Amino acid sequence: MNLSEDIKWNEQGLVPAIAQDWQTGEVLMMAWMNAEALTLTLKERRAIYYSRSRAALWRKGEESGNVQQLKELRIDCDGDTVLLKVEQLGGIACHTGRRSCFYRVANDEGELTVTGEILKDPAELYGTASGSKN
């Protein structure tokens, strides 16, 4: 079996990648990977994604310092999703300054409640008023 051959890349040559805390199982974020990002993630043992908006590789934490060190990489049974078990350095995975990007919870009526506190102002992380997705 070969990892890159077993992955079902979408029409843009990408696959969704879910980052999960390797110790707690908490889902931290979802991003996209292309074949180069996948290869480099394994080689460098850190999460490297593909930014669709910039059409370029994105080393998680390159601006914020919140690097994701790779502990284990898995693919699902269909080969269409990658799971990265990571150690989230700095404790922040989301560009909003929260630990996880999944900080909004829907109730039965579809109303959202914010559950994750902002640990650090995005402007401090990225040096901009609106923050970046790094």
Domains annotated for the chain, with CATH where assigned, are 3-126 (3.10.20.810)
- Contacts of residues 7-16 at CB distance under 8 Å and 24 or more positions apart, as own/partner, are 7/38, 7/75, 7/79, 7/80, 7/82, 8/78, 8/79, 8/80, 9/34, 9/35, 10/80, 12/52, 14/50, 14/52, 15/80, 15/81, 15/82, 16/80, 16/81, 16/82
Asked if the model's pLDDT at residue 4 lies above 90, the reply is no
Query: pLDDT tens, 117-131?
Result: 999 998 888 876 544
Percent over 70 (pLDDT), the chain:
94
pTM more than 0.85: yes
pLDDT at 134 exceeding the cut of 70: no
